[in-house]
Amino acid sequence: MIHFSPMCIGCTLLGVASVATIVGLWTVQLLPSTDPPAEPWDQYRLPDALVPDHYNISLWPRLQPNIDGLFVFTGKSSVVFKCTRETDLILIHSNKLNLTSEDGCLAKLSTLGNTAPPLIQKTWMQKTTQYLVIQLKGKLSVGEYYVIYSEFVGELADDLAGFYRSEYYENGEKKITATSQMHPTHARKTFPCFDEPAMRAVFYITLIHARGTVALSNGMEIEKVDTILDGQAVTVTTFEPTKKMSSYLLALVVSGDYTNITSANDTLIRIWARDKAIADGHGDYALNKTGPILKFFERYYNVPYPLSKSDQIALPDFYFGAMENWGLVTYRETNLLYDPLISSNANKERIATIIAHELAHMWFGNLVTLRWWNEVWLNEGFASYVSYLGADFAEPSWNVKDLIILKDVHRVFAVDALASSHPLSSKEEDIIKPEQISEQFDAISYSKGASVLRMLSDFLTEPVFVQGLNTYLTRFAYQNTIGEDLWDLLQSAVDKTGLVLPLSVEGIMDRWVLQMGFPVITVDTGTGQVSQEHFLLDPESRVERPSPFNYEWIVPINWMKVGAEQSRIWLLVKTAFYSEMKMAGNEWVLVNLNVTGYYRVNYDHMNWERLLSQLNENHEVIPVINRAQIVDDAFNLARAKIVPVTLALRSTKYLFQEKEYMPWESALNNLDYFNLMFTQTDVYGLLQNYLRKQVIPLFAHFKNITEDWSHVPPGHTDQYNQVNAIRIACSTGVQDCQSLTSGWYSQWMDKPEHNPIHPNLRSTAYCCAIAAGGTKEWDFGWQMFKDATIAIEADKLMSALACTKNRVLLERYLGYTLDASKIRKQDATSVIVYIANNPDGQILAWDFVRKNWEYMFTEYGVGSFNFASLINGITKTFSSESQLKQLLEFQSDHSEMGFGSATAALQQAIETTKANIKWVSENQREITDWLVAETA
């Protein structure tokens, strides 16, 4: 094993002592029992001896391959840093760069002062920790500024990390753009740097690029000089220096065919995309909304936008949804470009909220940055929460703020109710490796983070919350913080206003941040008793992770009584009595008003009955968010065996009178689980009958308000619910619905160049028409799929083709997944899973995968199929003994070859199937009886 690459011999004569040290090191490492004291370069965190001040970086990406067929970039970089603690060792991040060696050294050291710098003893690359290590013969002096200069070549790979290459085709012609993704730890793949968020510096960027191409970076272009370099006609573009910022926020773009549209009020706003997309007007929506969203955040934070311009660019090839590089935000195309002819209102909402999320980071995250990645949740949770506020300002008619309940709160409840969940915040020393850092970006960080910050803003009230926020952003501008700093300044804002809290802000928030999960609050309206308990979806699961607070929370409880009286109480202990929770006569109480609190609610039997009666008599007395909550809580409490499953079903009985999207969506999400469990049983038919009965009035309502489907309803969420109405009506066999969608589809078949179906309704209408149709409809859909030039449209057809009930067509489609000329390898897994989710395709898909497993596994290999999602997608409906038997046989049949990345998924599938069998056996009788009575 070679510990480091050959040391430089030219710059220093390696003394005998050094050799001895190296030998000594090796010997120590060979000792079996004790680990050697790790060298500084084996530690993933930088020592605190050196602090960067600024970088001068010049990069030249080549958009043509070199003679070896490789795409590369060349670069020169110097970093000026200050020594704050005496040291003879320089560690600076560098990964996968080929640093030019001069005199045997990988970098040069100089000083800004008059004294000569110490000589370099040796330099080497430390691969695992991604350092360039520079060992010195003498010491750097405290207070002095030094410069490291290096020249290097890096690969402009298509790996979506660091400075990388994005390829796409337009009119059959291959185009190449150089772009970047530095976050979280890829700046070191572009130039040597102190690549930690707290190592802020000013970046002076220069890009060298072919004449006529566009070059962009965080700062504004301030100079462009045409020249000849290496015999090539190039432009050298210099950018305005950045603010003092973290390396992960740097961005670089060079492209041959990008253009922009611009607007300027106070801040110059530019939207960049492929020439054609801009010419077709697909950037207009983003341009129109960016100004208002920036204005909103300037007012919300009460801090002006810190930069001279705001660029946003749409990239065809981008791993994340979007990235908040300071001043040059990068997006996946579908998250920035809006095509009114093709995009649905859901696409539009996504664009508005993602722009708001990224622009929120321009202050929270970029101007003030968390010190380390263990608090990713605060950065991401915050941006996710306020993205709803920014989008609401840009689109006030949408009521988009309410949707956080479905998209974040309910979504993350499902994950956070498992014994395997984890707390929001981790210890700094537990998150050190790049892969540990990447793991922090999960649903808990984003969605639970957003949920608990929304709760905090609610109990502080918004004026106090934004006051604290403003002090935080002002006091720590251009600096790094820890979460406690925010709590402290929110506390100061609380103290100033005289708001009374039961504990400090930090004391309350620690309960939600440092322990995983959330409580179910149980209210007994007979006695006034209110209690809390850690909510676990599986009551038999065992919680192994200890909690510093014993799984108890400080819970703000907003409640409302019949007659609309509202107030708040705090639950500070496990159980307490409140006279206001005692109900008399027909009174009911509704707890967790508008679901501002991050918890579920259960009631005594009588209060449940009164709430259900209220829903049936006049549901509008209960706020729409809480109608969605009652359904979601009831189903989840039933899963956890806290309430009978019939209570959950009864919470959906009033739906035949409900027109609003949120309660419907909540019910359909939950009933989907029932559908999945009972696909191959008699219950399935009963459920379909029940749903049909419930949805018919909704379908009629939309037919009426759209004047026989001649337009879509004006309301944003009404548009969503229209899709639900059509989807459920068609899939449960409502004749009117089937003729409607089949009619649209056949009009389209008659005139393929003119699609009469509204973009909102396409996914659903295609699926319904293909399900009701035969070979002719399917073949047409296939042709349209092959001809589609826009990815969103192709995706809709790809999933709709899996909706057919025709066995021959389903088998044909399954076969196509093994033919890359028909279904691209990257889509094969999705197609098989779509087919498995069709009740008529479930068995076929499973048979197909079993039959072809060896071929898929060996011929196609890892990377083409996502075997874990494949196993998970196919088996999630398994709920019978025979399916379990097949699964176990499958496991033993292929045990020799193994299951690669799907090993854990297969084990999980076996566990889940067992749990499903148990759930079905415990509930089937009760559910059947209830459905029979309801649909009789």
Ligand X SMILES: *[C@@H]1O[C@H](CO)[C@@H](O)[C@H](O)[C@H]1NC(C)=O
Of residues 55 and 388, the one with the C-beta less far from ligand X = 388
Stretch that binds ligand X, among 149-157, 466-474, 699-707, 869-877 (CB under 6 A): 699-707
Indicate which single residue of 397, 579, 704, 895 sits in contact with ligand X (rule: CB under 6 A). 704
Q: Is 713 in the site for ligand X (CB under 6 A)?
A: no
**Cβ neighbours of residue 401 closer than 8 Å, sequence gap 6 or more:** 388, 389, 392
In whole angstroms, how close is the CB of 623 to ligand X at the nearest point?
Answer: 5
Stretch that binds Zn ion, among 203-211, 378-386, 403-411, 773-781 (CB under 5 A): 378-386
Ranges assigned E (strand) in 33-119: 50-61, 72-83, 87-93, 98-99, 108-111
Q: Cβ(356)–Cβ(387) under 8 Å?
A: yes
* Residue 704 binding target from ligand X, Zn ion, none, CB below 5 to 8 Å by type: ligand X
* Residue 696 binding target from Zn ion, ligand X, none, CB below 5 to 8 Å by type: none
* CA dist., res. 744 & res. 761, Å (int): 11
Of residues 377 and 385, the one with the C-beta less far from ligand X = 385
Give the tokens for residue 50. 């050196």
Of residues 590 and 686, the one with the C-beta less far from ligand X = 590
* Residue 705 binding target from ligand X, Zn ion, none, CB below 5 to 8 Å by type: ligand X
* Residue 777 binding target from ligand X, Zn ion, none, CB below 5 to 8 Å by type: none
How many residues sit close enough to ligand X to count as binding (CB under 6 A)?
8
- Residues 370-409: x where in contact with ligand X by CB under 6 A, - otherwise, as a string: --------------------------------x-------
C-alpha pair distances (Å), 67 with each of 163, 438, 855: 20, 35, 37
Of residues 117 and 381, the one with the C-beta less far from Zn ion = 381
- Residues 591-610: x where in contact with ligand X by CB under 6 A, - otherwise, as a string: --xx----------------
Q: Is 859 a catalytic residue?
A: no
Q: Cβ(619)–Cβ(656) under 8 Å?
A: no
Stretch that binds ligand X, among 39-47, 62-70, 698-706, 846-854 (CB under 6 A): 698-706
How many residues sit close enough to Zn ion to count as binding (CB under 5 A)?
2
Stretch that binds ligand X, among 69-77, 322-330, 697-705, 750-758 (CB under 6 A): 697-705
Nearest of 549, 533, 464 to residue 501 by alpha carbon: 464
Q: Is 706 in the site for ligand X (CB under 6 A)?
A: no
Report 301-320 residues binding Zn ion (CB under 5 A): none
Give the tokens for residue 652. 């959906």
* Residue 701 binding target from ligand X, Zn ion, none, CB below 5 to 8 Å by type: ligand X
* Residue 623 binding target from Zn ion, ligand X, none, CB below 5 to 8 Å by type: ligand X
* Residue 7 binding target from Zn ion, ligand X, none, CB below 5 to 8 Å by type: none
Q: Cβ(841)–Cβ(810) under 8 Å?
A: yes
Q: Which residues are annotated as a binding site?
A: 357, 361, 380
In whole angstroms, how close is the CB of 324 to Zn ion at the nearest point?
Answer: 6
In whole angstroms, how close is the CB of 709 to ligand X at the nearest point?
Answer: 13
Q: Which residues are annotated as a binding site for Zn(2+)?
A: 357, 361, 380
Indicate which single residue of 705, 790, 820, 917 sits in contact with ligand X (rule: CB under 6 A). 705
Nearest of 643, 540, 541, 664 to residue 600 by alpha carbon: 643
In whole angstroms, how close is the CB of 879 to ligand X at the nearest point?
Answer: 37
Stretch that binds Zn ion, among 258-266, 373-381, 657-665, 894-902 (CB under 5 A): 373-381
In whole angstroms, how close is the CB of 622 to ligand X at the nearest point?
Answer: 11
Torsional sign, CA 534, 535, 539, 541: negative
Of residues 244 and 701, the one with the C-beta less far from ligand X = 701
**Cβ neighbours of residue 787 closer than 8 Å, sequence gap 6 or more:** none
Give the tokens for residue 774. 């035969």
Per-state percent for the chain, helix, strand, coil, to nearest 5: 45, 20, 35
In whole angstroms, how close is the CB of 762 to ligand X at the nearest point?
Answer: 25
Report 219-278 residues binding ligand X (CB under 6 A): none
In whole angstroms, how close is the CB of 626 to ligand X at the nearest point?
Answer: 8
* Residue 383 binding target from Zn ion, ligand X, none, CB below 5 to 8 Å by type: Zn ion
Of residues 392 and 777, the one with the C-beta less far from ligand X = 392
Give the tokens for residue 111. 């000083």
Backbone φ and ψ for 226, nearest 5 degrees, come out as: -85, 135
Of residues 704 and 895, the one with the C-beta less far from ligand X = 704
* Residue 375 binding target from ligand X, Zn ion, none, CB below 5 to 8 Å by type: none
Stretch that binds ligand X, among 152-160, 701-709, 897-905, 923-931 (CB under 6 A): 701-709
Helix (H) or strand (E) holding 404: helix 404-404
Of residues 380 and 633, the one with the C-beta less far from ligand X = 633
Of residues 625 and 884, the one with the C-beta less far from ligand X = 625
Contacts 24+ apart (CB under 8 A), 469-473: 469/301, 469/364, 470/301, 470/302, 470/303, 472/368, 473/301, 473/303, 473/363, 473/364, 473/367, 473/368
The arrangement of strands across the sheet holding 268-274 comes to 258-264, 268-274, 309-315, 328-332, 322-323
Indicate which single residue of 72, 383, 469, 648 sits in contact with Zn ion (rule: CB under 5 A). 383
Residue with tokens 């968390």: 370
Of residues 384 and 602, the one with the C-beta less far from Zn ion = 384
* Residue 644 binding target from Zn ion, ligand X, none, CB below 5 to 8 Å by type: none
* CA dist., res. 96 & res. 131, Å (int): 10
Q: Cβ(549)–Cβ(511) under 8 Å?
A: yes
* Residue 402 binding target from Zn ion, ligand X, none, CB below 5 to 8 Å by type: ligand X
Residue with tokens 């859901």: 346
Q: Is 625 in the site for ligand X (CB under 6 A)?
A: yes
* Annotated catalytic residue within 155, 333, 358, 658: 358
Backbone φ and ψ for 532, nearest 5 degrees, come out as: -125, 150
Identify the burial level of 490 via C-beta atoms within 10 angstroms of its C-beta, where 0-12 means exposed, 13-18 middle and 19 or more buried: buried
In whole angstroms, how close is the CB of 453 to ligand X at the nearest point?
Answer: 16
What are the start-end ranges of the H helices in 426-536?
434-439, 443, 449-460, 462-475, 483-497, 505-513
Pairing of strands 131-140, 50-61: unpaired
In whole angstroms, how close is the CB of 335 to Zn ion at the nearest point?
Answer: 12
* CA dist., res. 314 & res. 331, Å (int): 5
User: How many alpha carbons lie under 13 Å from residue 876 in its C-beta half-sphere?
Assistant: 16
**Cβ neighbours of residue 7 closer than 8 Å, sequence gap 6 or more:** 14, 104, 122, 123, 124
In whole angstroms, how close is the CB of 488 to Zn ion at the nearest point?
Answer: 23
Q: Is 710 in the site for ligand X (CB under 6 A)?
A: no
Torsional sign, CA 602, 603, 604, 607: negative
Of residues 297 and 857, the one with the C-beta less far from Zn ion = 297
Under DSSP, the state recorded for 919 is H
Q: Residue 275 pairs with which residues in a beta bridge?
A: none
Q: Cβ(251)–Cβ(290) under 8 Å?
A: no
* CA dist., res. 788 & res. 153, Å (int): 39
Q: Is 701 in the site for ligand X (CB under 6 A)?
A: yes
In whole angstroms, how close is the CB of 863 to Zn ion at the nearest point?
Answer: 28
Residue numbers annotated as active site: 358
Which residues form the interface with Zn ion (CB under 5 A)? 380, 383
Which residues form the interface with ligand X (CB under 6 A)? 402, 593-594, 623, 625, 701, 704-705
